[in-house]
Structure 1
């Protein structure tokens, strides 16, 4: 249940966080309708698998190198903390003017591949969590990744629907408050990662 919850919360945060894929979801929905926005929202499902496999494979070979894993965990804590901070200070999103050139699923896939966020997330947060889950039970890893992508894609599709039906949603109070709540949760998760990192680096007394 813990890995399912963590996966869902991280996916939800990633889905709502401003970034190149989210911007493309919004602009495609404005310019070409809901169907185009949904196609872009599905792009991570088509592009992230090689990143996941590579990062999990690398980190699985580092399970006995606690100092390296500790540094990675601290890096992940900083990354998640940054996302949390950005979510807390969010003032909403500015809508695109809808005058961009036509896009497609291929464009969405390229945007996701060229964005640094999937690589940062999976190397610093996603893959370490997957390795930990696999060591306990493979079903935990499946729960984590399934919940993550359901929330990630679901959040972007929900935003596409919001743009289609109400252009004021992305700058309205509901989006801002939701973003801030997610930001607080991310900061709590970042503290947990920071604590794990200190433990791996040998600061057991500090961590209790």
Structure 2
């Protein structure tokens, strides 16, 4: 129970800072409601669970190799730049009033969550957080510790997402279409900003490699 609570707080804490997933969740939640914001969160958690399984199977050292991580900076930058551009270009589209049923596909927003979550920052987090847990569980012959820690982190992220989207859903009912458009534009700018940061990290990695 102690391990679960510890990593529940870790998951809750790392989900709180504004990141690309939070930006996309908020945008979709405002434009199309709780379910579509939740779809983005589920896409992100799908990547998280995939990485957890990879850690459990012993791929942590492989995923942490520079020549594996560095291309992911560019892949992540491309995805975020695309989503940012799309968010700005279509800021006035796909806005569903709170009292109407959205026509937007659940799977399209789920896909956005997957794309945003495919980033080296996310990968590095899982490698660093669970590396110590893995070594400890193997040394004590108790691999259950890893599963408990993983459940704790995922639960923390889940509670954060539900809380955020609950606030967004209430806020959505009092926001005008124009205000939602502006949020979509701001979200697009932030996503492009994250994209530029990923490019910076890629360039920094190349520079460090050739030094």
Q: Compared with structure 1, are the counterparts of its residues 52 and 31 closer, same or farther at alpha carbon in structure 2 (3 Å cutoff)? A: same
- Evaluate the alpha carbon distance shift between residue 145 and residue 12 of structure 1 in structure 2; reply closer, same or farther with a 3 A threshold: same
Question: Unaligned 5+ residue runs, structure 1?
Answer: 62-95, 168-208
Whether the aligned pair in 2 keeps the contact of 1:59 and 1:128 (CA below 8 Å) is no
Contact 2:44 2:116 in 1 (8 A): no
Contact 2:28 2:37 survives alignment (8 Å)? yes
Task: Tell me the TM-score normalised to structure 2 length.
Answer: 0.54
Pick from 154, 159, 170: which aligns with 2:159? 154
Provide the TM-score with structure 1 as the length reference: 0.55
How far apart, CA to CA, are the structure 2 residues paired with 1:133 and 1:60? 16
How many residues are treated as equivalent by the alignment? 132
Please give the per-residue CA displacement for 1:133-158, whole angstroms capped at 9, x wherever unaligned: 34432222221111110111220121
8 Å contact from structure 2 (residues 43, 114) kept in 1? yes
* CA displacement at 1:105 relative to structure 2: 0.2
Contact 2:34 2:169 in 1 (8 A): yes
Q: Any stretches of 5+ residues in structure 2 without a counterpart?
A: 63-86, 95-107, 173-211
Aligned 1:84-163 pairs, distance under 5 A = 99=91, 104-113=109-118, 115-136=119-140, 137-163=142-168
After superposing on structure 2, the runs of 4+ consecutive aligned residues of structure 1 that deviate more than 4 Å are 58-61, 100-103
Matches within 5 A, 1:50-69: 50-56=50-56, 57-58=58-59
Contact persistence 1:31–1:99 (CA under 8 A): no
1:132 and 1:5 map into 2 onto residues whose CA distance is: 17
Q: What value does the CA root-mean-square deviation take over the aligned residues?
A: 2.8
Partners in 2 of 1:15 and 1:143 — Cα distance? 18
Q: Distance in 1 between matches of 2:152 and 2:53?
A: 17
